[in-house]
A and B are shown apart, each in its own frame.
Chain A
């Protein structure tokens, strides 16, 4: 039983490592967001399977406790390394249409995104200092919706963006953006940051982070590993340290001969 458990974990770890490598490669080259997403899904499924196996192992195989603890330990530290690598690449390689403005006192303000007007067709967007994102078609803001609560605070922003054929003007692709739900167009992730009060424009933040999936995979591994590592072995505490703790407390109390106000 334990052997089967170990082999399953090793197979899952191997599949997870291969999927992560594919995700890293595809994500870094920006070749295919679909392949990167698929790779990430495989990594997450593998990690979830390891978590399920862990739970089952902890329940039914007594000797598995320390093994799970060790595995969790490795997964957690491996996740931390992947996360740090992902964040470094994110910092170095992300391109976006955010701009930093310096005022007369030297204070820097970062403004994310550009204002796009409804009904206008855009050929390109300036991303970074020099690079233009040239969409293969007209990029256009088709509509903006803005809902608010009775006291005037925002309730919902929504914007529809379309890609139109340059020759015929036919809509090739249509995406609805809301806050918290960015969309991918031509490998770029597009965020809805704000809308104008007259609902004829929206501020869109356009970003390409080649290490996005690496960061998410690192986060998933780190969280899974932390739970595996920290939550296993608590049962052994019940039998050993728990008794020790109680004894130690009682011994401590007796030696000081105080008592009375103990919790």
Chain B
């Protein structure tokens, strides 16, 4: 029953994210009333947030444990969709990056559609996850993944339409990289606490290191005026590496210490 309710809410949320995306497009932006531009994202965010809260309540009721619902890929994706909007709003206010809302709504819509389609899993909270590093590790990664998704979309547009979005992409890379660094190294310190080693060359660890090195390269390219134009390629490959990191071991059932 909860699963059906969650899917209905996520479906509606995806619709509203889609509507928000259309409203944010320059083509329609002027003709859409301002209140709709606020109402659609707000409705999508509330519905998406409700599913997140339902997941949390479900954990407490069925397992008697109040843990943040980041345990399965599905639960993480529900939060990722929220993150895209949260990060979009923050970026818009703090860095005054205007005219890029559509990318954040598009990313949220795609992720929410994904959560509607994929099997919702609600798993137990195993001993290995009961750590102080669990929440910061996931939070940092979710923030960086949402920025990676948006960065890749903007970079793709810059490549296809041959537009100059490098200053915005540079800011996104600079916002993304510290969170990815924190996520990666919190994970390493956590691994030492749980498995007794900082790094195990596990398949997911290797892909996450590749993604981190990719963005490290992008950041260094942005520091060199002559090489800036190549950084956008790394913004696209970075998102591809993030997707592989996030889904590879889980979807393809590759043996990994990080399968969940």
Residues of A whose CB lies within 8 Å of any CB of B are 87, 90, 96, 98, 112, 149, 151, 153-157, 178-182, 189, 191, 193, 205, 207, 212, 215-216, 219, 222-223, 226-227, 230-231, 234, 237-238, 241-242, 244-246, 248-249, 252-253, 256, 260-263
State which size class the interface on B falls in. Answer: 35 or more
Would A182 and B193 be within 8 Å (CB), given that A149-B124, A253-B163 are in contact?
A: yes
Given A179-B194, A252-B163, A252-B164, A223:B126 Cβ within 8 A:
no
* Residue of A216, A234, A252 with highest tally of chain B CB at under 10 A: A234
Q: Are B198 and A182 in contact (CB under 8 A)?
A: no
Report the number of A-B residue pairs with Cβ-Cβ less than 8 Å: 120
B contact residues vs A (CB 8 Å cutoff): 24-27, 63, 94-100, 102-103, 124-128, 130-131, 157, 161-168, 170-171, 174-175, 177-178, 181-182, 185, 188-190, 192-196, 198-199, 219
Give every chain B residue within 8 A of A256 (Cβ-Cβ): 162
The residue that B182 contacts in the complex, of A179, A216, A223, with Cβ under 8 A, is A223
Chain B contacts for A231, CB-based, 8 A: 174-175, 178
Pick from A98, A149, A227, A245: contact of B168, CB below 8 A: A245
Q: Is the CB of B127 within 8 A of A178?
A: yes
Interchain CB contact under 8 A, B126 and A237:
no
> Which residues of A sit under 8 angstroms from B125, Cβ to Cβ?
155
Q: Are B189 and A216 in contact (CB under 8 A)?
A: yes
Instruction: Please report the C-alpha to C-alpha distance between residue A154 and residue B63 in the assembled complex, in whole angstroms.
Output: 12
Q: Are A223 and B181 in contact (CB under 8 A)?
A: yes
Interface secondary structure of B, over-half rule:
helix
Given contacts A149-B63, A178-B127, A252-B162, contact A262 B26 (CB under 8 A): yes
Residues of A contacting B190 with CB < 8 Å?
180
A238 to B94, CA, bound (A): 9
> Does B124 lie within 8 Å of A87, measured CB to CB?
no
Which residues of the other chain, A, contact B185 by a CB distance below 8 angstroms?
219, 222-223
CB distance from B29 to the nearest CB of A (A): 9
